[in-house]
Amino acid sequence: MQTSNSIQRPVKIGIAHGDINGIGYEIVLKAFQDSRLLSMFTPILYGQSKVLSYYKKNFVINDFNYSLTRDARQAWPNKFNIINITEDELKIELGIPSELSGKMAVLSLKRAADDLQYGHIDALVSLPVHPACYKSDTFEFNGPAAFLSSCFGVKSPLWVLLSDRVRIGIATDRVGLKTAIDSLNRETLRLKMKQLVSCMKTDFDMASPKVAVLGLNPEMADEESSLIVPVVEEMCREGNTVFGPFTADDFFNTEDWRRYDAVLAMYEDQALLPFRFLSLNGGCVYLAGLPAVCVAPDHGVCYEIANKNEASPESLRQALYQALDMVNRKKI
């Protein structure tokens, strides 16, 4: 992993605090107990210090210090910074979605996204929120990805699962399987293949990335030959090193996946199952195709273990490391 010494100031990574009723503050506290992170980049949490203090007390974490700042441009280097998004008293209802937790999650995301657009922070890591919390009359999006895409005017970004061992893009949105399959067409597949190739070149500094494309269903051979094969062949004619389609089970049950820089899966479950198995040290999700670095842990809000001191910060650490590395590569 690269450090931030090669640029004029430390990289600033904004953290949208997600759902205050879930595990977000727990994994933040656990991740930043390792003070070495503060020498690598400047973290800025868009949340509330009172909520952080509540969880500090619950988990008996005394060796965690932070600084308050009103403006990301004035964030303190070598310290954990908090921008208080509200001065109101926030009622924490552990383990359940609430109207208040949704309102605060949206406010945090909007404040962080504004700073990202204006260049006041270099990357954004968004912590998990229950989908029900986003449903309101004042927020027209179904989650952070749709909102961030709208902020940057990108119609269809690409979800990429990232870990130290594997990178898997997902050709369809996070929707039900039937909806995902129905949405697949040559135009969509071509766009997603191009986005994944571009991501590997731009964000991972690969001159000629090798990309493997998974099949849709071995029982739908005719559809694969008419849908996936022509797009793979077209990408190859344009000089890209794209291969497939491969049967997902065979591909990940052998060592074939090691031969490629990235994999394009057709739908979320096809990507998540092998990704979780292979990413023993935690993984994260990157929203590729935006002009800014936006990353998130690869898990949900985990209400069932909220406030039980059972949440692992590894996925958040991976998100922070990946964000830092991508920002540094872009600035070289």
Query: Residue type for 132, please?
Result: A
Looking at the fold, whether 267 and 323 belong to one and the same domain comes out as no
Check which CATH number belongs to the domain holding 121 and give it: 3.40.718.10
Mean per-residue pLDDT, 16-22 = 97
Dist CA 325 CA 332 (whole Å): 11
Classified as helix, coil or strand, 292 is coil
- Section 261-288 average pLDDT: 91
Q: Report pLDDT for 171.
A: 93
Q: State how beta strands 67-68 and 81-84 pair.
A: parallel
pLDDT classification of 177: cutoffs 50, 70, 90: low
Q: Same domain, yes or no, for 55 and 170?
A: no
Q: Tell me the residue range of the domain where 56 lies.
A: 1-156+282-332
Residues 269 and 304 in one domain: no
Alpha helices (H) in the chain, listed in sequence order? 24-31, 37-40, 49-58, 99-117, 144-151, 177-183, 186-204, 221-237, 248-253, 268-278, 314-331
Residue 318 CA: distances (Å) to CA of 153, 184, 299: 27, 30, 12
Contacts of 266 (CB under 8 A, 6+ apart): 170, 171, 172, 180, 181, 184, 214, 215, 216
Query: How buried is 254 (Cβ within 10 angstroms: 0-12 exposed, 13-18 middle, 19+ buried)?
Result: exposed
Buried b (16+ CB within 10 A) or exposed e, 25-45: bbbbbbbbeeeebbebbbbbb
Q: What is the token pair recorded at 169? A: 């893009």
In this structure, the answer to whether residues 106 and 47 fall within a common structural domain is: yes
Task: Report which residue type is found at 279.
Answer: S
**17 and 105: one domain?**
yes
Q: Is residue 161 part of a domain?
A: no
Judgement on whether residues 53 and 12 belong to the same structural domain of the protein: yes
- What does the alpha-carbon distance between residue 199 and residue 62 come to, in Å, rounded to a whole number? 41
Q: What pLDDT is recorded for position 5?
A: 42
Same domain, 40 and 112: yes
For the chain, the domain total comes to 2
Residue range 94-153, pLDDT digits in tens: 999 999 999 999 999 999 999 999 999 999 999 999 888 887 777 888 788 889 999 999
How much is the pLDDT for 142?
A: 78
